[in-house]
A and B are shown apart, each in its own frame.
Chain A
Amino acid sequence: MTSPASSPRAPGCVSDLELDELLAGDLAEQPREAVLRAHVDGCARCRARLAAFSAVEPPPAATMLPRVVRAAATPRRVTRWRLAAALMTLGAAAALFAVRLRPRGEPGAGPEERTKGSLALVVFVKRPSGVVDIVTGGGTLHPGDEMRFGLAAARPGYAVVLGLDAAPSVTVYAPYAATGAAAPPIRLERAGTTTLPGSIIADATAGAERIVAVVCEAATAPEALRARALAALTAASGDPARVSSLGTGCLESSVLMRKEARPR
C-alpha cells in the first residue's frame, strides 16, 4: 500500500515521522533539524519523499474545524479543562478557573442544537464559582451566569448572535450596542474559530432560550435578522425549542439553553 501517504524507509534514511516533524517545524533551531536537512538535501529518495509528503492535502480547516467543534460536544464524556490559556479567550485575565466541556445532544442533529451549513456556535458559560462550561449542544443557564460566544465558521462573513426566548422576544446579543444605537454585524475576516467580543449576563427569566448565530456573506443588519428571528419564533408558536431555522439563507448554528433558578 505504498502511496504518497507512505514511503518505505531505506536504511540510513530519515523516518516518515522525522519528515513530518520537519514539515511541521517541530525541530526549528534544533541541532537535529540541521542533521536531517543535510541528509534530505543529499538523498534523492528522501527529497522525493519529503516532496510527496508536503503535497498531501488535508481536509480544509474551514470545513473540518466546525465539525471538530460539534463532535467535541458529543455526550460520550465530560472533560475538565485545566488550562488557564483556554480562558484567555474569555477575557478572564490571569485568573485560574476550571473549564468544563459540557456536551449535550448529538452534534448538528439533535433537538437542541440546530446547524445549517458549516458553522458551529459555542457558548462559554461562566458560573459565579468561576467554572466555565463550554456548551455546544444545549445547556442550563442560571441567573447571573455570564455568556460569551465563539464561532467556528467555514468561511469569512458577517456574524450576528441572537437570543430567542419564550416571551416571545428576540434580542441581539452580538454585536453588542451599549447605547441602543444600531451596530454593524461583526466582521469575520477569515474562516476558523473566533471568540466574539462582549458578554451577556443571564437574567432571572425562566424557560427555554435559543441562541442563534448567523454568519452571512454580506453585511446584514442585525435588526433585519432580528425581525427574521421574531417571525420564525412566532411561526413556532413562541416556543424557542421548536425554532429550527431562521430562514436567512446564511450559515446558522444554535444552542438551546434552559434558564432555571440556581440550585440552592
Chain B
Amino acid sequence: MSGWHGLDRVYELHSRSVYRRALQLLGDAEEARDATQEVFVRVMRAGGAVPADPTPTAWLYRVTTNLCLNRLRDRTRQQGLLASKYTVDAEVRPAGETRAAVAQVLARVPEDLQDVAIYFFVDGLTYDEIAPLLGVSRRTVSNRLSAFRDLMARLFPETRSAS
C-alpha cells in the first residue's frame, strides 16, 4: 500500500477499531480522536504500510494501546482506569477492595509489564493471544505477568496470588 493513496484505504478499514480502542482506554471522545490522529500519523510516517503479521488490526491495536498508555501516564488517571478495568478473571481474582491497590501497582510497573497487564487483565487475552500481538514468545508473556504479579505481591502483600 502506498503511503499516500493507501492512507485513505487504511483509514477506511481500520479507523473504527483504532478509535474504539482509544476510546476504550482513554474514556474520552476528544482524546480518542487525538490518539486516532496520532496513530495514523505514525502509519503515514511509516510509508502507509501496516504490517500484516499477525494482522493489520493487531499491529494497529498495539500501536494504539502504546500511545494511549503514554497518554495515561498521569498516575491518577491510570489508577482510575485500572481500578475500573481490573475485572475478575479465571486466573486472577483480586478481591474488589484490592482493585484500587492493583491500579496503584500498575502505575508503578515498567512499561513492558504495563502493556502485558493491560492485554491480560483489561482485554482478557490469553498468553497465546498476547504473544503474537507483542511479537514475543508465550514464555516471555508468562514471565512478564509473573514479574507483574511478584511486584504486586511485594507492594501489596494482602493482594491475592495471581495463579
Contact = CB atoms under 8 A, between A and B. Distances in A.
Contact of B11 (A6, A65, A195): A65
Contacts of B7: 65, 68-69, 193
Contacts of B57: 17, 20-21, 24, 26
Contacts of B15: 58-59, 61, 64
A122 interface: yes
A93 to B, nearest CB: 14
A97 interface: no
Interface stretch (B17-25, B109-117, B134-142): B17-25
B13 to A, nearest CB: 5
Nearest to A101: B45
Dominant secondary structure of chain B at its interface with chain A? helix
A11 interface: yes
Contacts of A83: 2-3, 47-49
Interface string B78-98: 000100110100100000000
Contacts of A79: 45-46
A86 B47 contact: yes
B58 A68 contact: no
Contacts of B87: 8
Interface of B: 1-8, 11-21, 23-24, 27, 32-33, 36-38, 40-41, 44-49, 55-58, 61, 81, 84-85, 87, 90, 123-125, 129, 133
